[in-house]
Structure 1
Amino acid sequence: MTTVDDKSVVKEYFNATGFDRWRRIYGDGEVNKVQLDIRIGHQQTIDTVLDWLKADDNLTHLTICDAGCGVGSLSIPLAEAGAKVEASDISEKMVGEAKERAASETLKGSLNLSVQDLESLRGQYHTVICLDVLIHYPQNQADAMISHLCSLSESRVILSFAPKTCFYSLLKKIGSLFPGPSKTTRAYLHKEADVIAILEKNGFQIQRQAMTKTRFYFSRILEATRSAS
């Protein structure tokens, strides 16, 4: 049985056909109904996280790591709001697109974009964010990834993932029966209890949570803060 390297699959996909597909979804041009639904759902996740961070009224004092930043949908508005953001993605093309979208003198010094995989990230940040990345990796890899993200965080981790429930597992199975020319990477669902257990193992407790749900996009969002020693 051939072992699949999920990281290589993700990197190749988002530097090839996946890049064009998701750049359109994350943009504002014309897309089909399914892509529009995913665009709306993804933006709702971004807006939820932005609302959480802006409500705390301390963005100008924060250092933020945006792991798996894509085309900068979250990183750019965070930098525009005054946070100091280190953003990275495994895809060189995604980072290139993010740099084009962030081409503004006002963001110099506030936003740094780089091509890195999640495991190679280093440094310490007040808040570490990883949205819509875990869906590309199985549970055993997700455990290591979340634990590494926790090690980078001084105070808070915000994650989103596709929750594993009977209903969403059925939807995934139905969707796998209809592959198309723009078929994405394999989608992995994660049990919320498992994700919370990993966060707690690394010394974090859940503070806020939300669910984004449209017809074709679903994402559970968790905010966890480091427990007092």
Structure 2
Amino acid sequence: MPAYDQTLTRVETYFDKTATQTWERLTSDAPVSKVRETVRKGRDEMRATMLDTLGDVRGKRILDAGCGAGQMTHELALRGAEVVAVDISPSLVDIARKRLPDNLHHQVTFGSGDMLSPDLGEFDHVVAMDSLIYYTAPDIGSAVSTLFQRTSGKIVFTVAPRTPFLMTFFTAGKLFPRSDRSPVMIPHAPKRLAGHIDGDLRSVKRVSSGFYISECLEAVQ
């Protein structure tokens, strides 16, 4: 998947070299700007939505694909799941590991690298919050298909929806690229994306909070 690999490299560079401190602050209780506060609120709502979609996770082995600073990992472990928390950014994985309470460490295996690696093993469910938002529809479809080979239950993930607001930013990002710009989100219409998914794709909920706009999708075989 050459396109996937190229995007993965850009995402790794951004989150591990450029934006680590920004994301560390955003995912903490530290004061942030009003704009970032809306992003934090939106991410909290989306995380709760995805957890509700997974349902009872006690005793389940779950891949937190793109775990970032570990908020989803923490919540899954609190609910009794056995979590494999993986992110392309070693710096963010270190933050997630340090933040996790000692009494939950026995339930979590941390790793840095590609969330699609077969070395991660098999899972009951996969959750991927905002970790596929930079990829094309064919790459998302391929990623979901790869994960389905080792997942018996749900794959719950988010995409940037095709709203006028996000399409404006996407178009501007393509017209005026900058070397220091974060990876550009690619908006998707769930109905069109479904044509690239081997399985059933259901739209769960769209969360819109200021500059955070994301749509939760559930894929099952």
What is the TM-score with the length of structure 1 in the denominator? 0.84
Q: Give the equivalent residue in structure 2 for 1:215.
A: 210
Q: Give the equivalent residue in structure 1 for 2:44.
A: 43
Q: Give the equivalent residue in structure 2 for 1:123.
A: 121
Q: Give the equivalent residue in structure 2 for 1:224.
A: 219
Q: Give the equivalent residue in structure 2 for 1:34.
A: 35
Match of 2:96, SS state, is helix
Give per-residue Cα distances to partners, 1:54-74, cap 9 Å, x unaligned. Answer: xx4x32131111110101111
What CA distance in whole angstroms lies between the structure 1 residues aligned with 2:200 and 2:64?
Answer: 20
Match of 1:223, SS state, is strand
What CA distance in whole angstroms lies between the structure 1 residues aligned with 2:32 and 2:174?
Answer: 21
How many residue pairs get aligned? The number is 217
**Is 2:143 the counterpart of 1:148?**
no
Match of 1:134, SS state, is coil
Give per-residue Cα distances to partners, 1:126-150, cap 9 Å, x unaligned. Answer: 1011110122223332232222122
Q: 1:171 Cα deviation (Å)? A: 4.5
Alignment of 1:172-191 (within 5 A): 172-173=170-171, 183-191=181-189
Q: Give the equivalent residue in structure 2 for 1:95.
A: 93
Q: Give the equivalent residue in structure 2 for 1:132.
A: 130
Moved more, 15-24 or 65-74: 15-24
Q: 1:166 Cα deviation (Å)? A: 4.0
What is the TM-score with the length of structure 2 in the denominator? 0.87
Where do 5+ consecutive residues of structure 1 fail to align? Answer: none
CA contact (8 A) 1:64 1:128 kept: yes
CA contact (8 A) 1:146 1:198 kept: no
Residues 225 and 176 (structure 1 numbering): CA distance in 2 closer, same or farther, change over 3 Å?
closer
Alignment equivalent of 1:80, drawn from 60, 70, 78 = 78
The residue type equivalent to 1:133 in the other structure is S
Where do 5+ consecutive residues of structure 2 fail to align? Answer: none
What CA distance in whole angstroms lies between the structure 1 residues aligned with 2:68 and 2:20?
Answer: 9
Q: 1:92 Cα deviation (Å)? A: 0.2
Residues 182 and 42 (structure 1 numbering): CA distance in 2 closer, same or farther, change over 3 Å?
farther
The residue type equivalent to 1:137 in the other structure is Y
Give per-residue Cα distances to partners, 1:12-42, cap 9 Å, x unaligned. Answer: 1111221111111111101112211111111
Give per-residue Cα distances to partners, 1:70-101, cap 9 Å, x unaligned. Answer: 01111111111111111100000010000011
Residues 130 and 91 (structure 1 numbering): CA distance in 2 closer, same or farther, change over 3 Å?
same
Q: CA RMSD in A?
A: 2.6
The residue type equivalent to 1:218 in the other structure is I
Percent identity over paired residues? 28
Match of 2:124, SS state, is strand
